Structure formats: structure tokens, C-alpha cells
Amino acid sequence: MVKDNCDIHILITNPPSLFDISTILRTLYAGLGPSCWRVLITGIKRLPIKLISDSRVPVDVVKRNVVLGGRLEDFIRKPLVIVDPRGKSAHSVEVSPRCILVDYRGVISSALDKEDSIRVSSLRLPSITYEATGVIYEFLIRRRRTEVSFEPRYKNIREAIYIAKKLVEAIKTFDNYAIFEPNTVAYVVRRVYLGHKLLLDPVLTRININHVSGEVTEEIHMKAYSSYNLREEGSVTIKLVGNTVEIIENSKTVYRFYIDPVQRKLCIDRDYCIRGYSDI
């Protein structure tokens, strides 16, 4: 029996090739990260190295999230949607599935109780694999909401709005990871602090990427000098950890922002967000 607390189960039955499996796995990992999903595959007895390589999903994630064989009745959850090019448009279906069935031969899906399942399509393509990726995107990625425990912090709301608008413009992608352009961020923060008679000078940027969790940590370190006599007055650090951005003065957080990667916006607090970045 499959025992876990995952939000969604994907059941793939008798896939025609490793390409089809790797495409679905890659979609899940790229869209949801290492959790919280579980895939059950029937029709193969072991996980070929080529499958892991082609999907580009980390080995630890595959070992934890992919199951071969097992009792289908222990894996299927309700609400259940079945990928079917002739089904209802996924966009029009309001249900939030806990299980998605990708049944290449149609044997399993035809035996299920119609009252307990909904057949859905994405673009009505002849390819079950591409239909499956479209359905996964619609239900699990596009509709996904990032739950953030907001703890807003800013010492000047007008400055916070200005910084947030400029930070949105500085978010770029590097090998599919969201990072800030260090020089752009440094310029923006420097302009703000000039109004406080401080000159900031960037000295070091550190970027760390966790290839399993997908989390990015970025730190832009700046020295602060008096604009009167260039005497050193401490330091300012812009820190990105996951979806949280902080501006730290001498170890004290003075501004905190939140990135919503799904809605593509940056928030000062729960009720004030700025949209703008579109290349992620």
C-alpha cells in the first residue's frame, strides 16, 4: 500500500516509451518541485537510467516519488480525472483532482465507475503524453497558489513601493532559476539610501542553487559610507531565500518582500503586490 501525505497522485499505465514517462516527470518536477506528488507506473519493472537522465529529475526525487507496480486501488484517490483528448476542457472543470490517470491503453479507465471520475482534455491533441502535460499544468501548476505567511516589514511605504517596482524589473532567469541582477538591485538600493545621506558600494554577490529542491539563495553585500566624508557606516545586504527578499541593515531586517512565482508578482504585504516580470 502506498502511504504518504502527498497532495496529488499521478497514475501512468502501460506507457509506450521512456520518452512519454520522462516528459510527464519533467513537467511535474519543473512545475511543482520535489514535492508533493507521487507517480505510480505500471508496465515497466525497473527504472532505467535513461529515464532519470532524460527527465532531468534528481535521483533522490525519483526514488522518493516514483513507484513501480502496486495495487491500483491503494493508489487511486478521489476526485479523479482521466486524461482523454475527447473529454471536457480542463479549463472548464472546477474540481481539484487528487489523482490524475494517464491510461495509454484505456483498459483501466474503462473499468472505473464513471460517477467517480471526470474525463478531461487540454488541447484535444492526439498525443496522450502532451494531453497529460497540459492537464497537469492546468490543474496543478496554473491554479497553484503559493501559501505565504506574511510578515511585512518596511520603514517607509513610499520607498518600499519604489524598491518593489524596481526589484520586479531586476528578476531574471538563469538556467530556469529566478535570480536578481546584482548590479541593477545595487543601483536601486543605492538611490534609496542616498536620500538618507549614505552611499552604498557593492562588494560581493553570492548565489547558491539547490538542484534538488530548486531553491535559490542570493546575497548582495554592500558597504555603507557617509555621503559627507565617506566614513564607513556599516553594511547593507539584499538577501533572497526561496520566495522571500529582505534588505538588511547591520543585521537588522528593514524591508521584506515576497515573490509569488506562479502569479508572477512581488508583494509588499498580502494586499499590495506588483506584477511585472514575465520571463520566468
Domain harbouring 110, CATH code: 3.40.1280.10
Q: Are 100 and 135 in contact (CB under 8 A)?
A: yes
User: What is the extent of the structural domain holding 99?
Assistant: 8-142
Note the Cα 209 to chain centre separation in Å: 14
pLDDT at position 279 over 80: no
Stretch among 138-142, 144-148, 167-171 having the lowest mean pLDDT: 144-148
Domain membership flag for residue 222 = yes
In this structure, are 262 and 179 located in the same domain?
yes
Number of structural domains (the chain) is 2
- Greatest distance between any 2 Cα atoms in the chain: 80
Q: Are 201 and 223 in contact (CB under 8 A)?
A: yes
In this structure, are 178 and 263 located in the same domain?
yes
Domain membership flag for residue 232 = yes
In this structure, are 13 and 78 located in the same domain?
yes
Residue 1's pLDDT band (cuts 50, 70, 90) = very low
Query: What are phi and psi for residue 5, nearest 5 degrees?
Result: -115, 25
d(CA 253, CA 240): 12
Domain membership flag for residue 268 = yes
DSSP for residue 78: S
| Burial grade of 33 (CB within 10 A; 0-12, 13-18, 19 or more) | middle
Domain membership flag for residue 48 = yes
Average of per-residue pLDDT values in the chain = 87
Q: Quick one: cell of 240? A: 533572497
Last residue of a domain, one of 113, 142, 171: 142
pLDDT of residue 246: 95
In this structure, are 31 and 124 located in the same domain?
yes
> Over the stretch 6-53, which tens digit does the pLDDT of each residue have?
589 999 999 999 999 999 999 999 888 888 899 999 888 888 899 899
Q: Quick one: cell of 263? A: 502569479
In this structure, are 47 and 163 located in the same domain?
no
Residue 3's pLDDT band (cuts 50, 70, 90) = very low
Helix (H) or strand (E) holding 61: helix 59-65
In this structure, are 121 and 171 located in the same domain?
no
In this structure, are 131 and 183 located in the same domain?
no
d(CA 209, CA 116): 42
pLDDT at position 60 over 50: yes
The dihedral region occupied by 251, where left means phi > 0, alpha psi between -120 and 50, and beta the remainder, is left
Domain membership flag for residue 49 = yes
Helix (H) or strand (E) holding 128: helix 128-136
In this structure, are 12 and 130 located in the same domain?
yes
Domain membership flag for residue 43 = yes
Last residue of a domain, one of 142, 173, 196: 142
Last residue of a domain, one of 90, 109, 142: 142
Residue 262's pLDDT band (cuts 50, 70, 90) = low
Residue 259's pLDDT band (cuts 50, 70, 90) = confident
In this structure, are 238 and 165 located in the same domain?
yes
Q: Quick one: cell of 69? A: 507496480
Domain membership flag for residue 238 = yes
Average pLDDT over residues 207-212: 90
In this structure, are 157 and 136 located in the same domain?
no
Domain membership flag for residue 2 = no
In this structure, are 25 and 49 located in the same domain?
yes
Give 134's Cβ-side CA count (13 Å radius).
21
d(CA 148, CA 134): 26
In this structure, are 113 and 217 located in the same domain?
no
Stretch among 76-80, 93-97, 112-116 having the lowest mean pLDDT: 112-116
Q: pLDDT higher for 109 or 145?
A: 109
pLDDT of residue 7: 80
